[in-house]
Structures are given as C-alpha cells and as structure tokens.
Structure 1
Amino acid sequence: MADKTFRLEVVSPDAELYSGDATFLVAQTTVGELGILASHAPMLAELAPGGCVKMTEASGKQTAFAVQGGFLSVTGESITVLAESAQFVSEIDVAAEREILSSAEPGSAAYLQAKSRVRAVEAVS
C-alpha cells in the first residue's frame, strides 16, 4: 500500500511555521480552492489574497494558517507553502479581526489580512 502522507513545509520570509508530515491540504488559490493528497501531480499555484491553508497532520490533528499571498509548490513527495506572510490559527484574535473586517475598506491590505485570519479560524472551527 502506498504511503498516504507527504512532507509539508509552511514558510514565510520571517519564519518556518511548520515542517512535518501531513495527509491532506486545502489551499485557497487565485484559481479556486484546491484539495491535495499524497502523490498529487506536480503543480505551482498562486495563493489567494485573504486566503488560508488548512492541513491535516499525519496524527489526524487539523490546523490552519492565515496566509497573505505567496505560492504553493507541489511535487510528488512534498508540498511547500511559500507565503508572503502567514500566521497560525492559534495566534489569531478572531473578535478583533471581525471588527477590522467590518470597518476596513473592502480590498484594502487590512481587510484582506483580517479576512485571511477569520477564514483560518473558521476552517478549523
């Protein structure tokens, strides 16, 4: 039976946020939402502004990252999320981000960042 995990790296210019094995990844890209399993065909996709990335670790635990721009690189054995900036869902104050969403100009950098963070929280709620 083929291995059902792949190596996942989530990095931003500031830090490596995650490095480990995962079984499933969902990413919001500029062409839509993608679900990726082990042995997926190689591809490169641009991450959507205001999007998030949700993953299922090999242990079964699910988590998400708020991601503002960047790229998703998929090979047969690994996936790399190269984010312009990213944040773990556990570090997000969703009430504060919802307040920013209601007051910021739609499409602005502040709006897209708040939208990304709210999406990440909702992805694992």
Structure 2
Amino acid sequence: MADKIHLTMVTPEQEMINDTEVDQVNIPGIDGDMGILPNHAPLITTLRPGRFSYEKGDEVIELVVSQGYAEVTDNRVILLAESAEFLLDVDHARAEAAREKAEKLLAQPNLEEEAQRAAQDTLFRALARLETKKSD
C-alpha cells in the first residue's frame, strides 16, 4: 500500500512540478475542491481557476491555477493547467488590472462570443489570484 503520491504539474510554458512525492494534493475541481490522498480512486476532472496545494511532510505549498485538467491514477496526480503560479509570486496589482479590464470588456454590448469567452477566462483567473490576497 503506497503512502505517497507522485505529483506532476505542467503548463504550456513550463513543467511546474516534476514527479514530486507528496502526502496530499488539494485540487480546485469544477464540481468543488477535492483532497487526494494515497490510494485514491482513479478520476479525471476539469480544473477551475483557484487555489491548488500539496502537502509534503509539514510543508504546504500553494499555487493559483487556471482552467485545465487533472488525472488521478495509481498514486499519481497529473495536472495540465493553462497557467499556474506559486502563491508567493502572485502580483495582486496586475491581477486587479486584469480584473478591471475583463469586466470592462464583458460590459460591452454585442461582444463576440470568442472575445466574451476570453474575457471570462481572464476574469476568473484574476479573481482566483485576488482571492489569495484575502486569505494570506
């Protein structure tokens, strides 16, 4: 019976976490947050923008992720996210500017569907990043 999880997180820009052994993973799934422990049942879920964390001994490492996917199988968690940043690296002023810009775009009448979807994605990502400021 395994007592560790192998965690990998990849974004289009880089491999954020490379096959690191951890004790627990906390994922912001589309249907709510979920904690993954060793020997968890296999699953695939869609990520929503939010706080992601993993525990390694007494250390808790937190990141903010955008939309993406997570796969859990055989004590392995693989996350594919459009973007991710460690909590300590979040630029709250930049996130606030992105939120304001996205809200202005979404307030425009007759916004094309693709532009609306992109603005919504930007807004959700900015809100997730700003949420970290409230709970630091």
Shorter-normalised TM-score: what interval? 0.7 to 0.9
**Greater share of helix:** 2
Letter in 2 for 1:53: F
TM-score normalised by L of structure 2: 0.75
CA deviations on 1:55-75 (whole Å, 9 max, x unpaired) are 112x32111221111101001
Distance 1:62 1:121, change over 3 A: farther
2:74 corresponds to which residue? Answer: 76
Match of 1:14 in 2: 13
Q: How many pairs align?
A: 121
Structure (1/2) with the larger strand percentage:
1
Assess if the C-alpha contact under 8 Å between 2:65 and 2:85 holds in 1. yes
**Partner in structure 2 of residue 54 of structure 1:** 53
Q: 1:15 and 1:76, CA in 2 relative to 1: closer, same or farther beyond 3 A?
A: same
Identity %: 24
Deviation string 1:96-115 (CA, Å, 9 cap, x unpaired) is 43465467427733321212
Higher relative contact order structure (alpha carbons within 8 Å, sequence separation ≥ 6): 1
Q: Given that residues 27 and 47 in structure 2 are in contact (C-alpha distance below 8 angstroms), is that contact kept between their aligned partners in structure 1?
A: yes
SS at match of 2:40: coil
